């Protein structure tokens, strides 16, 4: 039996709480399109890394948020960007456009695309 309290675990064999880090939670990335997939995204993985690791043929070029080759659309969920100025207009962000090469999931996400 293991009891988890925030970032600590109680391990009965040891008889005390430890400060062992718990595994980072993952978010679900649901890809809609011609070949729907459900993938797991770690908080420090970009959506593009998750897609390519799963063998999803997603268009990519610069990988730094400037060329817009990887653009997709977020149907649900929230992301954070690894760069301060991803190449999207505020109006594009408002309608759900996302650059998977520099976006990490903050919640479970549903992604449409590529090439939106
Ligand atoms: S690959 Fe260039 S913006 Fe994503």
C-alpha 11 – ligand 1 centre gap (Å): 44
C-alpha 59 – ligand 1 centre gap (Å): 8
For residue 89, tell me if it sits in a domain: yes
Is the pLDDT at 76 greater than 70, yes or no?
yes
* Gap between the Cα atoms of 81 and 104, Å rounded: 6
91-100 pLDDT per residue, tens? 999 999 999 9
For residue 8, tell me if it sits in a domain: no
For residue 79, tell me if it sits in a domain: yes
For residue 15, tell me if it sits in a domain: no
State the sign of the Cα–Cα–Cα–Cα dihedral 25, 31, 32, 36.
Answer: negative
For residue 19, tell me if it sits in a domain: no
- State the pLDDT at residue 2: 44
Q: How many domains does the chain have?
A: 1
Atom of ligand 1 nearest to the CA of 87: 3
For residue 92, tell me if it sits in a domain: yes
Please name the residues in contact with 14: beta carbons below 8 A apart, sequence gap of 6 or more: none
Domain containing 89: what range?
A: 24-112
Mutate to test the pocket of ligand 1, among 47, 59, 68 (most ligand atoms within 8 A of CB): 68
For residue 108, tell me if it sits in a domain: yes
C-alpha 71 – ligand 1 centre gap (Å): 7
- The 3-state DSSP class for residue 79 equals strand
Prediction pTM value: 0.78
Pocket of ligand 1 (CB under 6 A): 60-63, 65-70, 87, 99, 101
33-68 pLDDT per residue, tens? 777 889 999 999 999 999 999 999 999 999 999 999
For position 29, which CATH number holds? 3.10.20.30
For residue 2, tell me if it sits in a domain: no
């Amino acid at each position: 039996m293991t009891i988890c309290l925030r970032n600590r675990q109680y391990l009965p064999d040891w008889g005390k709480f430890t400060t062992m880090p718990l595994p980072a939670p993952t978010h679900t990335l649901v890809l809609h399109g011609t070949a729907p997939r459900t993938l797991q995204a770690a908080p420090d993985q970009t959506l593009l890394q998750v897609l390519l690791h799963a063998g999803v043929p997603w268009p990519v070029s610069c990988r730094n948020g400037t060329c817009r080759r990887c653009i997709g659309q977020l149907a649900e969920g929230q992301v954070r960007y690894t760069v301060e100025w991803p190449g999207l207009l505020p109006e594009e962000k408002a309608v759900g456009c996302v650059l998977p090469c520099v976006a990490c999931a903050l919640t479970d996400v549903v992604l449409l695309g590529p090439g939106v």
